[in-house]
Structure 1
């Protein structure tokens, strides 16, 4: 019997999460932990970056003053700077972005502005790393708040993945089968460190996003007998299941246990080996929430992100990346009620953008992504004004050896267009 982590039907306890938004992230940036939001109960690595203090002028400035200073700095810099904003960012930041999208779209955007001396990435750390690896060597990639990490990305580290790979290699060997397929191909979700992207590049693997996960798995199955998928178990399980892979052929790997907590027989029969990782925001969504939405809104259309647990995806009317969710609502020609299972910033933005529809979040606690909220207009104003003054702060750089291997896997990802 394989180990499958399936979300139970009862709602998560609200005591593990604060719905309060981090309006003043500088108050928690120097402390251990992720801060208010869904990730606050997760364990943050001791090596995670700390932001340190933000100058008082930015902490004390009014919202209107910060917006005026951001606009003035962008005007002064002109084409020398491009600001990228992830869908999950707060609106106060998104309004200043030159490009808005999911991680796949922003990875492309990072290389589409060769004229910019600096790319200010309003997202989280792994996204800024990717932008650094895909942009020109003379371009500086800046993360406004170094403490903006990702709890999911932190659930898979290089040492643990290398140990897993050694155990799998000992079990499977390295020889290809009669069709030339190697025993296992590593696939990492975009939500992972540069080191894990490099691991995939070095071992014949690839990076995926929620936009192209099925295309990537097809690529991997053409080259391998099975896939090691990390760090998000739910995206891997939901994608492979939709492609016809039985759930029983998808054992989960717990890095704290020998053979990941599996038997050799389980692993021999595996098609996809899933890492024991997850997104704390999307794991909160439940079938009970969907049942409640349907009871209160009989004609509701339920759309969820594939980082949600499998029973939630199965119970929904549709699932897909953040870009899929945006396009599905934009395509609705008649007033519709939508219940959305993804991060609250995107849900609220869609509700404001399409007032003809009724759009609400499935999770009544409305628990935000802890680390996306670390990007605040105060930090954006600070990094932009330092650029005007000729100083680059919070630059994200990936060493060339790591970047070289990671680019191999990233280029394969960019070529895997759905």
Structure 2
């Protein structure tokens, strides 16, 4: 991946009024017209998401980016999403991320050297019986790794389909980098917990449940997680059951297995949005996902009570780095033909990653 040299946000943007920043963004969108496309992830802050041409989860945005012809894409999301957009668009299209610090701690939990080392050990132990799958919350290099070995990407929307697909081809799968999504998906398909193991990239060891047999392992889970979704606990649900037993608990499958089992419902970001859309007026919902989205859903569904399962939850810190200042700065520079923080995945990596992504999109 290549990008322009890192530059610090000029002080003038911090000193600008919101009115002026908004005016600059509106003017840039008017000037570029259809030549500019701004996709925005559901977890984006409210003042930024208002400028998104399309709002969606990882799967929806990947599908949309593949079909867009706009020469300039300014991605309001995090780093791996901008990489995905660059992989799926034509080479002449330019993808920019308003702030390079908008990363993903989960994606950082699996780097390519760790993954290659793990693969060597695991294939020595299990032979040619493993297919790799990676959550889209991963680097382009990890996506390419999976594409080169017959594997694919998954999202929380289609993880069930993709795990079935993988196990129809090989006896086992390696699921990167989120152990919780992998565990919850496999369990939902009827795979026992003792037939899953966790690969620890730090100790370089396979961690088995008590009494589990190595030869029975079907799913190898990378020891990674989402720092936002791990903050939801069974204790929070138990307390809510005592104080507000009529409230429905709806969580994302990046939460731990125990939280998902204790909740009333679990599903992808798209699933959460749709379930609240169809929920009966007057019902109460505690949501276990990112706070920007929860607040937006509460504002959209005033006929229902919608709140965070964790009353102390804050928004995703890295997603929140995309703000009005950085968006206005990026668009101002673009008007001067400066492609600030351009995300460009090297073609050799992009080619293999594209295979993994298209296998995912074919099963969407």
What range is the shorter-chain TM-score in? over 0.9
Residue 146 (structure 2) aligns with: 200
Give the Cα separation in 1 of the matches to 2:169 and 2:340.
Answer: 42
Give the Cα separation in 2 of the matches to 1:73 and 1:269.
Answer: 57
Give the Cα separation in 1 of the matches to 2:111 and 2:272.
Answer: 30
Which residues of 2 match residues 19-38 of structure 1 at below 5 A?
none
Alpha carbons 2:181, 2:253 under 8 Å: kept = yes
Alpha carbons 2:251, 2:265 under 8 Å: kept = yes
Q: Deviations over 1:153-195 (max 9, x none)?
A: 0001111111111011111222xxxxxxxx0100000000000
2:5 matches 1:58 = no
Residue 239 (structure 1) aligns with: 185
Which residues of 2 match residues 60-139 of structure 1 at below 5 A?
60-114=15-69, 116-139=70-93
Residue 251 (structure 1) aligns with: 197
Give the Cα separation in 1 of the matches to 2:146 and 2:230.
Answer: 26
Alpha carbons 1:129, 1:396 under 8 Å: kept = yes
Q: Of 103, 113, 125, which aligns to 1:159?
A: 113
Q: Of 313, 325, 328, which aligns to 1:378?
A: 325
Give the Cα separation in 2 of the matches to 1:202 and 1:262.
Answer: 28
Which residues of 2 match residues 237-316 of structure 1 at below 5 A?
237-261=183-207, 266-316=213-263
Q: Secondary structure at the match of 1:311?
A: helix
Alpha carbons 1:339, 1:359 under 8 Å: kept = yes
Q: Of 266, 270, 287, which aligns to 1:323?
A: 270
Structure 2: gaps of 5 or more residues? none
1:202 to partner: Cα distance: 0.3
1:50 to partner: Cα distance: 9.2
State the TM-score, normalizing by the size of structure 2: 0.96
Give the Cα separation in 1 of the matches to 2:15 and 2:6.
Answer: 18
1:51 to partner: Cα distance: 5.0
Q: Secondary structure at the match of 2:205?
A: helix
Alpha carbons 1:133, 1:403 under 8 Å: kept = yes
Residue 405 (structure 1) aligns with: 352
Q: Secondary structure at the match of 2:114?
A: helix
1:393 to partner: Cα distance: 1.1
2:99 matches 1:145 = yes
Residue 165 (structure 2) aligns with: 219
Residue 396 (structure 1) aligns with: 343
Give the Cα separation in 1 of the matches to 2:297 and 2:111.
Answer: 34
1:383 to partner: Cα distance: 0.9
Alpha carbons 2:231, 2:310 under 8 Å: kept = yes
1:391 to partner: Cα distance: 1.8
Q: Secondary structure at the match of 1:386?
A: helix
- The RMSD of aligned alpha carbons is 1.6
Residue 363 (structure 1) aligns with: 310
Give the Cα separation in 2 of the matches to 1:288 and 1:50.
Answer: 46
Q: Indicate how the Cα distance of structure 1 residues 52 and 360 shifts in structure 2: closer, same or farther if over 3 A, else same.
A: same
Structure 1: gaps of 5 or more residues? 1-48, 175-182
Give the Cα separation in 2 of the matches to 1:112 and 1:357.
Answer: 36
Q: Of 254, 272, 287, which aligns to 1:340?
A: 287
